[in-house]
Amino acid sequence: MYLFLTLVLVFGVAAAIPSAFAATTQVTIMSGSGSGQSCVSGPITCFSPSIVNISPGDTVTWRNGDNMAHELTDGLPYGSQTGILFDSGTIAPATTYSFTFQNSGDYRYFAKDTKWMVGEVIVGPSTGTSYAVPEFGNLAGFVVLVSIVGVVAVTRAKF
């Protein structure tokens, strides 16, 4: 019985570890980006930030701060290979779209409705240095339960 509870504790914590260190990066589609190309040459970019660096398993969430809907897809505006990895569908004003990048690489993306809106997600291996407190998200309750069961099992064990 105690062996079972110990295994549940170990595997429960091990299962939670990858998601505990995954991060979400916010990118904002800037107001006015869809109405003209001023965001390309001006001091304000169409996406803020326009280039993000993340680790494999991290998520990018685009928030539409513009007053018109946009559709984002991977690739280059005039390339033949677009929408291979993701296509957001319509992102209405004040709504979001999220995508989790699993593999390392440089991923360019653009707004299909306005070809001048381009950005880049650079997914590289984790440096191992993180000062953030991990969040367990949906697994928080499970991790707490497994921890309590583990403590009870260990304190009741007869050595």
Q: Which residues contact 64 (CB under 8 A, 6 or more apart)?
A: 29, 70, 91, 92, 93, 94, 95, 96
Band (pLDDT 50/70/90 cuts) for residue 42 is low
**Residue-level pLDDT at 7:** 47
Contact status, residue 34 vs residue 68, Cβ threshold 8 Å: yes
> Residue 73 and residue 137: Cα distance in Å, rounded?
27
Range 22-132 classified under CATH 2.60.40.420: yes
User: Phi and psi dihedrals of 48, rounded to 5?
Assistant: -130, 110
> Residue 145 and residue 13: Cα distance in Å, rounded?
11
Which residue in 54, 56, 63, 2 sits closest to 28, CA to CA? 63
Band (pLDDT 50/70/90 cuts) for residue 109 is very high
The number of angstroms, rounded, from the C-alpha of 18 to the middle of its chain's C-alpha atoms is 13
In the chain, where are the structural domains located? Answer: 1-19+134-159, 22-132
Question: How confident is the model over 36-43, as a mean pLDDT?
Answer: 70
**Residue-level pLDDT at 67:** 93
Task: Decide if pLDDT at 99 tops 80.
Answer: yes
**Residue-level pLDDT at 60:** 97
Sheet harboring 70-74: ordered strands across?
51-54, 118-123, 105-111, 70-74, 87-91
**Residue-level pLDDT at 142:** 62
Question: How confident is the model over 46-68, as a mean pLDDT?
Answer: 95
Indicate the helix (H) or strand (E) that contains 72: strand 70-74
